[in-house]
Every structure is written in C-alpha cells, then in structure tokens.
C-alpha cells in the first residue's frame, strides 16, 4: 500500500492500473477511521482490483464555528486500518493542494440539500459535492462507497452522479453500530462518559419508531412523536430534527407507506450526532 499527497501521484497509479485492465474502487473519508469505514473498504476490496481511500478533512464542508480545527486526526492509525483491510493507495492531500490559491469553483445543488442537515448546515453539501466531484475526477473510479449513516449525503451523491453524468456506480453500505446500538462515528470521541451513555437514546428512539411502523402505524407525525418523546426524555439530548421523508427525493411524507427515510440529528451536550433507518 502506498500513501501519496498529490493529484499527479494518484493519477499516475490509476493510469498504470488501467493499463493492466484493473478495476478501481474509491472510499472517500475524512479520516480518523473506525469499523464503519473499514466495512466500506472491505466491500470495495471485494468488488474491485484496486482500492483508493482518500483521507482528507475537507474545509469547505464545515461552516463557521463548526469543528474543522478540532476534528480528530490520526494518520498512523488510519494507514494501519487501510493496509489491514487491503487498500492499495491512500490519497492524503493537504487543503492547499485540493484548493489552489484563488480557488472559486464549487458544485452546488438545489432541492434535496435544503432539508434535514441542510437546514442548519446550509453550506455543508456544497462542500461535500465539490470535494467528491474533485475526487471522482482525480481517481476516476469504477465504483465509490458511502455509508448509510450519512443518508442524506448518500442520496445527494447519487443525485449528483446522475445529474452530472459521472460514469461511476455509487454503492451504499449499511450502518455499523457499537454493541449498545450507537452508530459508529468519528465524532463519538467528543463524548464524555455520561454523554456516551446518553447517546444511546438515538438508536433506542429509532428502534421504537421502526417497531411502531412495523406494527402498522402509517402516520408520519405519530411515528415522529414517539421518537421525539424518547429522545426528549434524555436530559443531555437536544433535538435538531426528526424527519420522515421519501427516500428517493427526501421530500417530507405524511404517511410511512413506500420507501421512506427516518432521519434524526441530536445534540448530546455540544456534540451533534446523526442516525437513521430506511424502510425497504
């Protein structure tokens, strides 16, 4: 496995692989990798001849007063996990290599970026779409892998690939959880002991909401109330949003029939966590 920091080095490696007739998978990450990221790399390794993992804390997807500077970083740990999982290449650029002096080009999107996380993070998905587009152009993979924990991001990337005619298959992968149900996240490291215990309220609330729907509840408002009541019972939790939307277009729905996404964002202390489930 190689670790490179420049666009030209990535392209040189990919060019050689293409000469050999090999397929290429891409796993975009912001680093501080955990078992959730490893599941994406494992899937990519199983479906491609070579796998590129990008490790880049992307400044353009952080808003003012968000945690860009404090976002956890550990390149030694990340490289060990990638090598263990069978990745071929880590692309670890510095921000000034991805955004040259005077950079002024962005990829923006209407509609599905406006709700859910887009309500309180209005510039977030512009940064996501821009950096992912750049990675797609740099690596030119056959397939790219994203986790369902970031469900809106997954939907946005699929929409962008369709709209901009990227010849790339987007593969969504299941949420990986701790034994107590908490979704794996790099931001879980921000939680102190009491907050970590309180954070299990997210998965417990979603589990009850999902059960409520399985028992025949069709009204979205009633399902949302069940989820909100459980979260609100935890003193350290503050709801950002609880929404039930159409999984295909992320528009709010009044009933739970069809394929819907139930997504939540909750502050545990000062840490904002997200979680969700999708009905199939």
- Measured from the Cβ of residue 180, the count of other Cβ atoms closer than 10 Å reads 11
What residues are annotated to the active site? 37
**Strand duo 260-268 + 271-278: pairing:** antiparallel
Sign of the alpha-carbon torsion through 74, 80, 84, 90: positive
Q: Crossing angle for the helix pair 124-139 and 7-19, nearest 10 degrees?
A: 50
Q: Residue 76 burial by CB count (10 A; 0-12/13-18/19+): exposed, middle or buried?
A: exposed
Name residues whose C-beta falls within 8 Å of residue 109's C-beta, 6 or more positions apart in sequence: 125, 126, 129, 156, 159, 160, 163
Helix (H, G, I), strand (E, B) or coil at 75: helix
Strand order across the beta sheet in which 271-278 lies = 237-246, 260-268, 271-278
Among candidates 17, 14, 28, 29, which has minimal Cα distance to 144?
28
CB burial readout 38-63, b (16+ within 10 A) else e: bbbbbbbbeebebbbbbbbbbebbbe
Q: How far apart are CA 1 and CA 248, in angstroms?
A: 37
């Amino acid at each position: 496995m190689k670790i490179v920091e420049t666009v030209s080095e990535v392209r040189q490696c990919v060019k050689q692989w293409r000469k050999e007739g090999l397929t290429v998978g891409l796993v975009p990450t912001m680093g501080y990798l955990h078992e959730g990221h490893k599941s994406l790399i494992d899937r990519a390794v199983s479906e491609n001849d070579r796998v590129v993992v990008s490790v880049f804390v992307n400044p353009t997807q952080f808003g003012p007063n968000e945690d860009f500077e404090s976002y956890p970083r550990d390149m030694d740990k990340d490289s060990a996990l990638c090598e263990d999982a069978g990745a071929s290449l880590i692309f670890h650029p510095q921000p000034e290599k991805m955004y040259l002096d005077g950079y002024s080009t962005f990829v923006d999107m209407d509609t599905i970026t406006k709700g859910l996380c887009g309500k309180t993070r209005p510039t977030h998905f512009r940064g996501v779409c821009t950096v992912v587009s750049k990675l797609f152009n740099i690596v030119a993979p056959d397939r790219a892998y994203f986790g369902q924990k970031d469900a809106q991001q997954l939907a946005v990337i699929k929409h962008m690939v369709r709209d901009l005619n990227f010849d790339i298959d987007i593969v969504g992968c299941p949420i990986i959880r701790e034994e107590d149900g908490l979704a794996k996240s790099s931001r879980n490291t921000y939680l102190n002991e009491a907050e970590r215990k309180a954070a299990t309220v997210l998965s417990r609330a979603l589990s009850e909401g999902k059960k409520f729907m399985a028992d025949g509840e069709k009204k979205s408002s009633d399902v949302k109330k069940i989820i909100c009541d459980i979260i609100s019972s935890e003193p350290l939790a503050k709801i950002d949003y609880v929404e039930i939307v159409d999984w295909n277009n992320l528009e709010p729905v009044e009933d739970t029939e069809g394929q819907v996404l139930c997504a939540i964002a909750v502050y545990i202390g000062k840490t904002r966590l997200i979680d969700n489930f999708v009905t199939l």
